[in-house]
Amino acid sequence: MTEASICRAKDNTISSVKVPLVFVPGVMGSRLKFKAGSSTGQCWDPDSKSWRMLHWVWIGADRARKSLDVDNEVEVMTIPWWTSESLSDDELLRGWAGASWDSYGDFFSYMGRRGKWRSLRNPLYVWGYDWRKDILKSGDDLAKYIQSGKGPLQSEDASSCIIVTHSMGGLVARAALRQHPDLEAKVLGVIHVVQPVFGATTLYRRFLTGTLTLDGGAPFAMILGNTGPKFSQIVSGLPGPIQLLPSNLYAQRCEKAGVRWLTTTRFGDAHQKTYEAFGSVYDVYTRGHRTHPPGIIRDDLPPDVSKEIQKKLIDQVKRMQIVHETLANYRLVDRTWSIYGTGKPTDTVEHFDLPPEKILVDVIPCGEVATVLPYGVNDQGNKVYIKQGHDVDMMGWDEGRSRPKTGEGTVPDLSASGLFPGEKHDLHGTFTTADLTKKHQFVSCDIEHEPACKDPYVANRILELVDAIVGSRECEK
């Protein structure tokens, strides 16, 4: 792709090329119907703000673990839940109902309904998928879909397509291209929005603190588990989400930036010295949660499932390392673009003022109600009382130190910018098609993670990129 050919993208000849768009949603952004139990409303449907999602709020961690487990077969929904939005038959066939309309509907309408000419030239396909699955397996499924009889290429009699992704969808798209070199020639470009290229530290923190209201509100916290033990139970059978834990490449980027991805202090020395996590992140993950530094293998799970969950998580970490090393910093060279956000408090470098490894309690009678006071014994043999909520349940997590304004609320910019380290251009800046040879990564201080695709500047920049990519293809013929 040369600068000269891109500059010619303003020619009207680009209208003769049909290049379908394939949108890949982020984690939990696809609407799933469980084949077993669906008659009782067992669905994962973010568009249903009533009973379908309330089901996951009230059933408890153990039932949620069993129900959500990746071994339970699902299918992507093909009928919309919402009643206010009418989808055409063509839009239904292209999969628009398979992803959350609440998260992506505005984007779908913007990209897929901008006049007859554009909808014919760049018909929008939406690939809803089982986000619970291993990312490499999802990538394999995406590659097969794109080239299948129901996929965009054969359906539109097109020779190539453009992939647009949100969040984890970026990892899935990269996995598809990484594992299927034959697909590379059929993809003109890939546009990623808020992709956790090297993972997200917020996921590691949730194994210790549980999902907090700052992670997306109280209902979301209850669905995913609002304590460390509950969160560990629920996600233990979800390879895809677990593979969003930070990789070694994230730890290395932190080091180059002069920080450590994980720091701690010890109760024993009164939190006087700060310790930095060294070595492989995977070695950290497979440690117990009471160790120093803490891992994600908890010993306070329900006794009847504790060993099963611990083993499953250790196996998940082993598989995750393979996935991370397979993807690494792979991208479709000269045909990849990235949009990310910064300026919002985001888990970036986790810090914990750890409680004692052994927690004791004093029980003080007070009428009919006893007061329970947790405490630990420090290195000097002194008894020190601690707070149940922050010190014990939250593992002494320091929100202020852990969440600087260096991301879009979920993915830190050290991860999101990983495909083009050191490159960033203002999303709101002036853009010409000729700039594509120089500008591949755009950043904004205004976007947030989940609704990123709703942002009009994001959608407009993607539209401009699509026009330029298609134009360059036409000029090279």
pTM beyond 0.85? yes
Two tokens at 415? 């991860």
- Cα dihedral across residues 100, 101, 107, 111: positive or negative: positive
Two tokens at 477? 């013929």
Cross-sheet strand order for the sheet of 350-353: 274-276, 262-265, 350-353
Count of beta carbons in the 10 Å neighbourhood of residue 334: 10
- Residue with token string 């910019």: 413
- Residue with token string 């509950």: 230
Cα Rg, the chain, nearest whole Å: 24
Are 58 and 50 within 8 A, CB to CB? Answer: no
What CATH class has 3-197+335-341+409-476? alpha beta
Are 374 and 386 within 8 A, CB to CB? Answer: yes
Two tokens at 19? 């290049």
At 140, which amino acid appears? Answer: D
Helix (H, G, I), strand (E, B) or coil at 49: coil
pLDDT in tens, the chain (477 residues): 433 333 334 444 444 579 999 999 999 999 999 986 544 458 999 988 766 788 888 889 999 999 999 999 999 999 887 655 689 999 999 999 999 999 999 999 999 887 556 667 889 999 999 999 999 999 999 999 999 999 999 999 999 999 999 999 999 999 999 999 999 999 999 999 999 999 999 999 999 999 999 999 988 999 999 999 999 999 999 999 999 999 999 999 999 999 999 999 999 999 999 999 999 999 999 999 999 999 999 999 999 999 999 999 999 999 999 999 999 999 999 999 999 999 999 999 999 999 998 999 999 887 788 889 999 999 999 999 999 999 999 999 999 999 999 999 999 999 999 999 999 999 998 877 777 767 999 999 999 999 999 999 999 999 999 988 987 655 555
Which residues are bridge partners to 32 per DSSP?
A: 44, 76
Two tokens at 64? 């949620």
Q: Domain residues of the chain, as ranges?
A: 3-197+335-341+409-476
Give how far the C-alpha of residue 316 lies from the chain's centroid of Cα atoms, to the nearest Å.
17
